Amino acid sequence: MNIEEEVQQLKEAIMDMAELTISQMKKAKDAYLANDSELAQEIIHNEKRVNAIELSIDRDCENIFALLNPVASDLRFVISALKINSDLERIGDYADGIADYVVDLTEKLDPSLVKETKIEEMFNIAISMLGDIAIALKEDNVKLARKVYQKDSELNKININASKIITEYINNNPKTVRQSLFMFSVIRKIERTGDHIKNIAEDLIFYVEAKVLRHKKMKK
Amino acid sequence: MSESQSESSFKIEAKNIDVFYGEKQVLKDVNMPIEGNTVTALIGPSGCGKSTFLRLFNRMNDYIDVFHKKGEILIDGKDIYRKKTNVEELRKSVGMVFQKPNPFPKSIYDNIAYGLRIQGINKKSLLDEIVEKSIRQAALWDEVKDNLKKSALALSGGQQQRLCIARTLAVEPSVILMDEPASALDPISTAKIEELIQELKEQYTILIVTHNMQQAGRISDKTGFFYMGDLVEFDETQQIFTNPKNERTENYISGRFG
């Protein structure tokens, strides 16, 4: 085993994981908005692959720690890879969870609710954050990684407004409680997706710059 | 000058050290201040100058005809290369442990007592006391106390190395130089030596040359990385192994060149 090769392979595995997660989240968006249960089934099926890659990356990290004693930037990379891996897996879980709702929900979404909650915009922001972070990971690009912070605050804004909008909608349309609650959950999942992407950005910055950003308040 | 020397808080200081073997310069303007009761690891590829640097502190390089140096080596604020230095006295206060254990072909007891007898200590009770104390300090006592008459050569490699450390301690040095003291030992003996180094730090200032990066990480407070005669980086060991400032240091400690 050679540390340089192993680190490179680990990086490629993380990239694969990121690609798969992006594809899962894109499909989750399409399946949810179009109430396409066939596509949802595909997501649920692919979730097994996400989990398998996660386990394989964990194992690779463990082997590198045990056999190659990584130090300095290698060490920071392997630590970051472990954490990024787990964040990506969680994002995969959210896509899977959204797919479950699609399978459960038989009625069509009310287009006015979709429009007012801005859920499609949320999906788009989260997917574009995932795209940014994937490129940032590939290029060790901390500037691009930092871009996700701004996009994440947009997600948070939409999330906060959505709870008001949905409460009002339920009051006016008591027969659609089920789809409203599901939508509220989906919005929460997208909001959490943003948080995990932010974690990934922090880990990338730690790896590249050896700075710990977590638990520090970001300056406005 | 003498005022400024007494103000120094460092046990050892290498100042602007250049070393030449004939025409060839093997150390280039090396500066290293070392605090007392610390372990300093010297690392770097073979031929980088780290052993030459170590051997400056007990003037071992003096035996090499073509050796000459510029700069100062201060121990307790005094330049050990000044004319009036008594080299024999210096080597009592700066002990050395080598890569291969090198006990005398004598009994365990006599290995320790040898240096003391040379100093004129012949009183049996005093010798007994120092021998026991030194062997205890070197964490060897329980293994040899019942048979101090046994030949030192009958001990295992790890025990021999701890005996050599005991022999060094017997003459009460304040600095101990170690040149890869565990490289010829198995992992358990290595662990014992490393544990011992940690204990000895309480009373001594230790400089150790090692090729084992993990060993440097485990036992040292500060690490100096040498490359082709330059002290490339000298910093807290934790800093060196998590986030070195110099790319060459990073490449070396991560095994990318060597």
CB of B154 closer than 8 Å to CB of B103: no
CATH number of A3-209, picked from 1.25.40.10, 3.20.20.60, 1.20.58.220, 1.10.510.10 = 1.20.58.220
Q: Under CATH, which architecture does the B2-102+174-253 domain have?
A: 3-Layer(aba) Sandwich (3.40)
Interior angle at CA A183, CA A94 and CA A153, nearest 5: 65
- Confidence category of residue A172, pLDDT binned at 50, 70, 90: very high
> Both ends of chain A: CA-CA distance in Å?
45
Is the CB of A71 less than 8 angstroms away from the CB of B243? no
pLDDT of residue B3: 43
pLDDT of residue A213: 67
Tell me what percent of chain A is helix, strand and coil, each rounded to the nearest 5. Answer: 85, 0, 15
**Least confident piece of the model among A17-21, A207-211, B120-124, B125-129:** A207-211
Task: Break chain B into its structural domains and give their ranges.
Answer: 2-102+174-253
Average pLDDT, chain A: 93
- Confidence category of residue B9, pLDDT binned at 50, 70, 90: confident
In a mutational test of the A interface, the residue from B232, B237, B243, B248 whose CB has the highest number of chain A CBs within 10 Å is: B243
Residue A107 has pLDDT above 50, yes or no: yes
pLDDT of residue B255: 86
Angle between helices A3-34 and A119-139 (to 10 degrees): 170
Strand partners, B222: B40, B236
In a mutational test of the B interface, the residue from A71, A75, A207, A211 whose CB has the highest number of chain B CBs within 10 Å is: A71
Task: Break chain A into its structural domains and give their ranges.
Answer: 3-209
Count interface pairs A-B at CB distance under 8 A: 30
- In chain B, pLDDT over 90 holds for what percent of residues? 91
pLDDT tens profile B210-240:
999 999 999 999 999 999 999 999 999 999 9
A32 or B258, which is more confident: A32
B-chain residues within 8 Å CB-CB of A211?
Answer: none
Q: Which two tokens stand for residue B207?
A: 């400089």
pLDDT of residue B7: 57
A-chain residues within 8 Å CB-CB of B255?
Answer: 3
CA distance A194 to A190: 6
B interface with A, Cβ–Cβ < 8 A, is 213-214, 217, 241-244, 250, 253-256
Q: Which two tokens stand for residue B117?
A: 């007898």
pLDDT of residue A210: 84
pLDDT of residue B2: 44
Residue B71 φ/ψ, nearest 5 degrees: 95, 180
- Confidence category of residue A216, pLDDT binned at 50, 70, 90: low
Angle between helices A72-104 and A37-68 (to 10 degrees): 160
Q: Which two tokens stand for residue A132?
A: 């940014």
Is the CB of B214 less than 8 angstroms away from the CB of A4? no
Q: Which two tokens stand for residue A181?
A: 């609650």
Q: For chain B, state the CA radius of gyration.
A: 19
CA distance A188 to A162: 10
Q: Which two tokens stand for residue A11?
A: 């990086």
Residue A91 has pLDDT above 90, yes or no: yes
pLDDT tens profile B81-138:
999 999 999 999 999 999 999 999 999 999 999 999 998 999 999 999 999 999 999 9
B-chain residues within 8 Å CB-CB of A4?
Answer: 256
pLDDT tens profile B143-167:
999 999 999 999 999 999 999 999 9
- In chain B, pLDDT over 70 holds for what percent of residues? 97
Neighbouring C-alpha atoms within 13 Å toward the C-beta of A12: 6
B8 or A179, which is more confident: A179
A interface with B, Cβ–Cβ < 8 A, is 3-4, 69-76, 210
Q: Which two tokens stand for residue B82?
A: 């000044």
Is the CB of A74 less than 8 angstroms away from the CB of B254? yes
Closest CA to B118 of B140, B96, B89: B89
ipTM value > 0.90: no
Among A4, A69, A73, the residue with its CB nearest the CB of B250 is: A73
Average pLDDT, chain B: 93
